[in-house]
């Protein structure tokens, strides 16, 4: 089906559901004290002179409404520096998203919305700097509502030292309600069935954004988001997904709906292409490249033993995005080049764990030729100080960033030979991982096997069981990652059980454990 036909179906669906935007069960979750701003407020994509501010208004009619907004330098909203009003309607599910221009760099701002004489909660945001001595990002991914409570977001909300939250995808999950007795869910999805149509996707985002901890993290920090597969369907690629059955309709229609709803709910800069690919500049200290390894150009995953695996035409980024990324990194004058990436980039040999496959074909291991193209570019241009941050896998890993790590001519762990940076893999916020499938002592055995120097010598840090978030701390001397692990996700708590910290020093690149 042609793209414009997909858009027509999406628009038609909007008209048909104007009186009933969400599943009826969503109304049971609303906090009357927040009416009509039940979903709170959010900000995102902070630039040096601008930021996106966002809210969504609950409206029981199909009529267009007016929403006023204002931005101030104080939390009392007395020193207003920008204000205006916009109209919003059922076509966007009454979303109000504004690009606020003319702001000052490295400045904390406060904002709020108003409609019908009622004010929203006051949000807090921060613009990017032109010059900085330190940057601190919270990094998250994979918050499955059914998997548990979003305690990591509460911990992030409690911090006052964060420049932005980098979300690496799987913001929602498309699955229907989990019926497993062996691995029961902590909470149940709305709607109960797998989400397929416009109302389904809107309802699932609504459920997630009514979570108090996620809502508070959005209120207090700007987010910089990319999507992964579950915002669409499991193991998505350009032309389909593993979780897309023949009787579930046209993939292009579903993908268009998923994109539309994502841009309705996420404080991301709107664009005609509905693309998440962009660069966020943090002045002298960091350029952050947000990439799409999912639905832009990714070829379908193949069996790890298929000869097609090594085909040079198979892509995860596509030629256009690859050129944009390699040229952007090459010409970046920033101290650190941060690549916000969905699936594990580094090589990982797991052949001693499973006879089925030695690699994860859904990760970059399934697209080795394009990964080699990136490494070739970085090595040819003597580019160093690259930091790749990764989600998706629900595990915590720290890798020396190096090509062909088992080749001793390429890599030396002790000296850092061949290393051009680090890859930091973040745990899931709540999505089930290895810790939900096997006991901790078995997970530790798995870690010992994976960490053998003969197999994965570049794998320096592992935590295979805990949920949480990561802080990426950048300054002129080093890029530090500290993983914070929640005590549990089975109930709401603000306690974290442990943390681990690893750094790569400027121009040294190899990972070193922080004491």
State the Cα–Cα distance between residues 356 and 346, nearest whole angstrom: 20
Chain centre distance of CA 452 = 30
37 assigned to some structural domain: yes
CB 37 within 8 A of CB 121: yes
**What's the mean pLDDT in 74-81?**
98
Whichever domain contains 409, its CATH number is 3.60.21.70
| Residue 355 confidence (pLDDT) | 66
CB 290 within 8 A of CB 275: no
| Residue 262 confidence (pLDDT) | 98
158 assigned to some structural domain: yes
Chain centre distance of CA 134 = 22
**Biggest alpha carbon distance in the chain?**
69
Res 356 pLDDT > 90: no
The parent domain of residue 223 ranges over 128-513
State the Cα–Cα distance between residues 310 and 213, nearest whole angstrom: 44
Asked whether residue 295 falls in the same domain as residue 386, the answer is yes
11 assigned to some structural domain: no
CB atoms closer than 10 angstroms to residue 293 = 29
| Residue 276 φ then ψ, to 5° | -100, 0
For residue 302, the SS3 value is coil
Q: Which of 72, 90, 125 is the last residue of a domain?
A: 125
State the Cα–Cα distance between residues 30 and 144, nearest whole angstrom: 20
26 assigned to some structural domain: no
Pick from 119-123, 241-245, 354-358, 498-502 the range whose average pLDDT is largest.
Answer: 119-123
Asked whether residue 137 falls in the same domain as residue 118, the answer is no
* 0.85 surpassed by pTM: yes
H-type helices in 17-157, by residue range?
151-157
Res 17 pLDDT > 90: no
CB 144 within 8 A of CB 431: yes
82 assigned to some structural domain: yes
Asked whether residue 54 falls in the same domain as residue 189, the answer is no
DSSP annotation of 79: S
Residue ranges with strand state E in 73-214: 80-88, 95-100, 108-115, 118-119, 123-126, 134-140, 164-167
| Residue 252 confidence (pLDDT) | 97
Res 102 pLDDT > 70: yes
Among residues 270, 149, 135, the alpha carbon closest in space to that of 216 is found at 149
CB 334 within 8 A of CB 284: yes
Q: Look up residue 491 and give its two tokens.
A: 């109930």
CA separation, residue 144 to residues 87, 116, 421, 477, 489 (Å): 33, 34, 30, 36, 11
Q: Which of 125, 151, 176 is the last residue of a domain?
A: 125
4 assigned to some structural domain: no
Whichever domain contains 63, its CATH number is 2.60.40.380
Asked whether residue 202 falls in the same domain as residue 170, the answer is yes
Asked whether residue 299 falls in the same domain as residue 380, the answer is yes
Q: Which of 89, 106, 125 is the last residue of a domain?
A: 125
Q: How confident is the model at residue 16 (pLDDT cuts 50, 70, 90)?
A: very low
Asked whether residue 449 falls in the same domain as residue 359, the answer is yes
State the Cα–Cα distance between residues 69 and 145, nearest whole angstrom: 30
Percentage of the chain surpassing pLDDT 90? 89
DSSP codes, 197-223:
SHHHHHHHHHHHHT-HHHHHHHHHSEE
Q: Which residue has the higher pLDDT, 309 or 10?
A: 309
Asked whether residue 96 falls in the same domain as residue 143, the answer is no
Asked whether residue 340 falls in the same domain as residue 480, the answer is yes
Among residues 325, 409, 411, 306, the alpha carbon closest in space to that of 366 is found at 306
DSSP annotation of 122: P
Asked whether residue 145 falls in the same domain as residue 92, the answer is no
For residue 444, the SS3 value is helix
237 assigned to some structural domain: yes
DSSP annotation of 417: B
The model's pLDDT over 133-162, given as tens digits with 9 standing for 90+, comes to: 999 999 999 999 999 999 999 999 999 999
Q: Look up residue 52 and give its two tokens.
A: 């996106």
Phi-psi region of 376 (alpha: psi -120 to 50; beta: other; left: phi over 0): alpha
State the Cα–Cα distance between residues 145 and 213, nearest whole angstrom: 12
Counted domains in the chain? 2
CB 33 within 8 A of CB 283: no
Pick the range with the lowest mean pLDDT from 199-213, 412-426, 473-487, 490-504. 490-504
State the Cα–Cα distance between residues 7 and 24, nearest whole angstrom: 25
| Residue 125 confidence (pLDDT) | 98
Contacts of 130 (CB under 8 A, 6+ apart): 48, 105, 106, 283, 284
Map tokens 């609950």 to a residue. Answer: 58
Res 28 pLDDT > 50: yes
Q: Which residue has the higher pLDDT, 358 or 465?
A: 465
**What's the mean pLDDT in 387-410?**
97
Asked whether residue 63 falls in the same domain as residue 171, the answer is no
Asked whether residue 453 falls in the same domain as residue 353, the answer is yes
Asked whether residue 206 falls in the same domain as residue 82, the answer is no
Mean of the per-residue pLDDT values of the chain = 94
CB 95 within 8 A of CB 64: no
CB 128 within 8 A of CB 139: no
Burial of 438 per CB tally in 10 Å (0-12, 13-18, 19+): middle
19 assigned to some structural domain: no
């Amino acid at each position: 089906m042609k793209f414009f036909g997909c858009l027509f179906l999406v628009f038609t669906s909007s008209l048909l559901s104007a009186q009933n935007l969400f599943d009826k069960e969503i109304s049971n979750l609303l906090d009357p004290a927040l009416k009509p701003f039940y979903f709170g407020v959010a900000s995102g994509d902070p630039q040096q002179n601008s930021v996106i501010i966002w809210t969504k208004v609950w409206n029981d009619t199909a009529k267009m409404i007016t929403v006023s907004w204002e931005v101030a330098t104080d939390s009392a909203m007395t020193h207003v520096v920008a204000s205006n009003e916009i109209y919003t309607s059922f076509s966007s599910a009454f979303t109000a998203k504004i690009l606020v221009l003319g702001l000052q760099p490295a400045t904390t701002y406060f904002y709020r919305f108003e409609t019908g004489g009622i004010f929203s909660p006051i949000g807090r945001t921060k613009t990017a700097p032109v010059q900085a001595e330190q940057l601190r990002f919270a990094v998250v991914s994979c918050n499955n509502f059914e998997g548990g409570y979003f305690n990591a977001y509460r911990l992030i909300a409690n911090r006052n030292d964060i420049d932005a939250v980098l979300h690496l995808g799987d913001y929602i999950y498309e699955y229907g309600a989990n019926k497993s007795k062996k691995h029961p869910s902590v909470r149940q999805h709305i709607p109960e069935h797998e989400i397929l149509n416009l109302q389904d996707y809107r309802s699932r985002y609504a459920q997630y954004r009514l979570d108090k901890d996620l809502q508070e993290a959005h209120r207090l920090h700007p987010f910089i988001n990319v999507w992964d597969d579950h915002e669409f369907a499991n193991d998505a690629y350009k032309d389909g997904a593993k979780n897309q059955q023949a009787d579930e309709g046209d993939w292009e229609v579903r993908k268009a709906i998923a994109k539309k709803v994502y841009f309705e709910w996420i404080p991301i800069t709107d664009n005609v292409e509905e693309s998440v690919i962009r660069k966020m500049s943090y002045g002298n200290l960091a350029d952050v490249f947000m990439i799409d390894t999912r639905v832009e150009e990714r070829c379908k995953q193949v069996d790890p033993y298929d000869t097609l695996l090594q085909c040079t035409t198979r892509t995860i980024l596509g030629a256009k995005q690859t050129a944009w990324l390699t040229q952007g990194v090459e010409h970046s004058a920033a101290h650190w080049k941060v690549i916000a990436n969905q699936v594990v980039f580094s090589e990982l040999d797991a052949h001693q764990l499973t006879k089925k496959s030695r690699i994860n074909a859904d990760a970059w291991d399934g697209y080795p030729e394009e990964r080699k193209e990136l490494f070739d570019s970085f090595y040819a241009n003597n580019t160093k100080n690259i930091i790749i941050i990764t989600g998706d896998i629900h595990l915590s890993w720290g890798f020396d960033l190096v090509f062909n790590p088992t080749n001793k001519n390429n890599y030396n762990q002790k000296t850092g030979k061949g290393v051009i940076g680090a890859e930091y893999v973040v745990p899931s916020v709540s999505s089930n991982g290895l810790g939900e499938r096997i006991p901790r002592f078995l997970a530790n055995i798995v870690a010992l096997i994976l960490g053998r120097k003969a197999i994965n010598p570049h794998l320096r840090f592992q935590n295979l069981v805990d949920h949480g978030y990561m802080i990426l701390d950048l300054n002129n001397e080093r890029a530090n990652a500290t993983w914070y692990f929640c005590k549990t996700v089975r109930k709401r708590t603000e306690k974290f059980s442990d943390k681990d910290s690893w750094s790569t020093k400027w121009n040294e690149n190899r990972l070193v454990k922080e004491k």
